[in-house]
Each structure stands twice: as structure tokens, then as C-alpha cells.
Amino acid sequence: MMSTLELCHIVESGFLPAKCKCTIDAKDQIMVQIFDRERGHADLLAAGIPVSSLNSSRAIANLIAKLKDELKLHAARRRSTAYQERA
């Protein structure tokens, strides 16, 4: 079993150069915050991810890929909204 510090480091490194903060609560659930570099606030927040579900490098890679997809969707929605507001 990997340490929680190592797990958080791997997840955070998966989003470089963006700022990512990974925390694990007392219930062994992960919260991942990915921050917008320009505005400085959280662009995506994923919480309640059980540490036990990340028991392999593949599981961690799948989580990072899923969160990156969600981040792209969020960014596309934000651009669409900004475009609609200008029109």
C-alpha cells in the first residue's frame, strides 16, 4: 500500500503545470482541487473519492484522466457561456 503523501504527490503531479491540491480526510477519502492559473480559484473540485479505490497505478491514472476530461468539459462550458454573453 502506498502512503497517502505519495498518492497525493502522484495525483498533483498529474496536473502539472496547473496547480493541484490533493487532501485526504479522516474517512480516507480524497479531495482534489485543480486551480485556474489566471484567476487563482478552484476550477474543478472532486471529493469523496475512496483511497481504497486507488489501489494500483492504473486506477490512479484513470482517476487523473477522468478529472482531466471533466476539466476540459468545464473549460468548454465556460468558454461557451462567455461567448453567449458577448453575443
Residue 82's pLDDT is what?
61
Q: Looking at residues 4-31, what average pLDDT do you find?
A: 94
CA angle 40, 44, 49 (to 5 degrees): 135
The number of distinct structural domains making up the chain is 1
Q: What is d(CA 75, CA 78) in angstroms, rounded to the nearest whole number?
A: 5
Is 70 exceeded by the pLDDT of residue 87? no
Per-residue pLDDT tens over the stretch 23-70 = 999 999 999 999 977 777 788 999 999 999 999 999 999 999 999 999
Can you give the pTM of this predicted structure?
A: 0.83
Q: Which residue has the higher pLDDT, 87 or 48?
A: 48
Checking if the pLDDT of 81 tops 90, the result is no
Residue ranges making up the domain that contains 43:
4-86
Element (H, E) at 68: helix 57-86
Q: Is 72 exposed, middle or buried (0-12, 13-18, 19+ CB in 10 A)?
A: exposed
Copy the grid coordinates of residue 69.
Answer: 476530461
